[in-house]
Amino acid sequence: MKPDATPNVRAAAARAVAAVMAGRNLDDALAAVSAPLSAADLSLLKAMAYGVVREYTALDWRVNQLMDKPLRNEPLVAALLACGIYQLRSMRVPPHAAVGETVAATEALGKPWAKGLTNALLRRYQREGEQIDARMPPDAEIRQSYPEWLAKQIKRDWPAAWRGVLAAGNTQAPMTLRVNRHRGDRDAYLKELDAAGIGYTVPRTAPDAVILNEALPVERIPGFAEGRVSVQDLSAQLAADILEAEPGMRVLDACAAPGGKTAHIIERTEGLDVIAIESEAARLGRIRDTLGRLGLDAMLVHADAGDTAAWWKGKKFDRILIDAPCSGTGVIRRHPDIKWLRRETDIPAMAAQQLRLLRALWPLLKPQGVMVYATCSILKAEGEDVGRVFMDEQREAVEEVIEPSPYAPWGEDCGLGRRIEPGGDFDGFYYLRLVKVP
């Protein structure tokens, strides 16, 4: 994209949204359009693009209610109209600015013919928005803005809680920190936040966690640059507790990028021999950067964890964490583009990859060793279903039931392993703890 003489944030947002709906990652789409923008405009761009991607189906439905005939083969204009309605409905933007700047964006997008259409449609929504919203059908696919296949799967997998699961995907996730025990303790860090006037809550569920009342850029988080804290969701922080590594143990973190769980395992237990594996070189670099900032050390291996012949030297592990590649449906509230980038056909392929990793890495576990299988998915197909297939094959694999402490419960027993419903302090997650009993 060529920078406009006066960059129009709405045009940039429309480009980003249209790119996501065409199959591009939202972060990449934003990076492609954000270069000409100031810091304030960049903040507005991100808020708008994330919101519109999160609610795209509902917004597009409203657009179509305001038109005499559907808008065809004009994805940029469709995205711009959705941005306009989102501003009027959900952003603290003065209505005159929302309408005026969105109309002006048609020129920046090279769509001057849409100027009158955009003006008329947004002004009509200002007049008739309440009546239009009242006509919206009850279908979750429209109201909650989910692809039909995913909404149906969530209804099947969460029969009693599916409404809350869908709604949680459309909320803002909190910013949760993890205090690095190698460089201080949580109580001391809380005093630092108090001195800086930063509000927070302290969850009892995870002993190293602090939840900020408002998200901050990492450069404004006390101690982040010095490696005293990291950003990590509460659900992900449970991995170190479930793994229960002890001093002197040999630990494998398969599929380890970006390195948060690797770092937490090392922070929690002294004297570990940790190997972290990642198949993508760039992502392996992120693990290296993470450990370097925190002042931690592990052996990093660039390899496919499931291809053990390429990297394993024959020495078995006391603990193995498989935080397997998955659909990411448990973190939709952080990455709303997951709704539109995932396909129903992706799920069986992901499940097959997860099962491949379990099969390949199980022989590397010592007798009485522990393997933890985890996914940031809310789909049974990427959780207990995979675990059942594996346990039917491996008679040495025995589930060790995960028991959250009674004063800080989390998640629910789902028959095999423990799953976490997304919402509030938690992302959606699944954990299964297996012990090897010869």
Catalytically active residues are 376
Q: Report how far residue 420's alpha carbon sits from residue 235's, in angstroms, rounded to the nearest whole number.
A: 8
Q: Report how far residue 11's alpha carbon sits from residue 26's, in angstroms, rounded to the nearest whole number.
A: 15
What's the Cα-to-Cα distance from 419 to each of 245, 260, 273, 415, 424, rounded to whole Å?
21, 20, 29, 10, 15
SS3 assignment, position 203: coil
Amino acid, res. 229 = V
Q: Report how far residue 331's alpha carbon sits from residue 437's, in angstroms, rounded to the nearest whole number.
A: 34
Q: Which residues of 393-421 are buried (b: 16+ CB within 10 A; e: fewer)?
A: eeeebeeeebebeeeeebbeebebbbbbb
Residues contacting residue 125 through CB under 8 Å, at least 6 positions apart: 62, 66, 84, 85, 88, 132
SS3 assignment, position 362: helix
HSE-CB of 194 using CA atoms within 13 angstroms: 7
Structure tokens at 59: 């917004």
Beta partners for 399? 434
Nearest to 180 by CA among 127, 108, 231: 231
Kind and range of the H or E run holding 175: strand 175-179
Q: Report how far residue 268's alpha carbon sits from residue 310's, in angstroms, rounded to the nearest whole number.
A: 30
SS3 assignment, position 106: helix
Nearest to 414 by CA among 377, 384, 381: 384
Nearest to 29 by CA among 50, 56, 2, 58: 50
What's the Cα-to-Cα distance from 331 to each of 77, 136, 260, 294, 428, rounded to whole Å?
29, 27, 15, 25, 6
How far is residue 404 CA from its own chain's centroid? 23
Count each helix (H run) and each strand (E run) in the chain, helices first: 17, 13
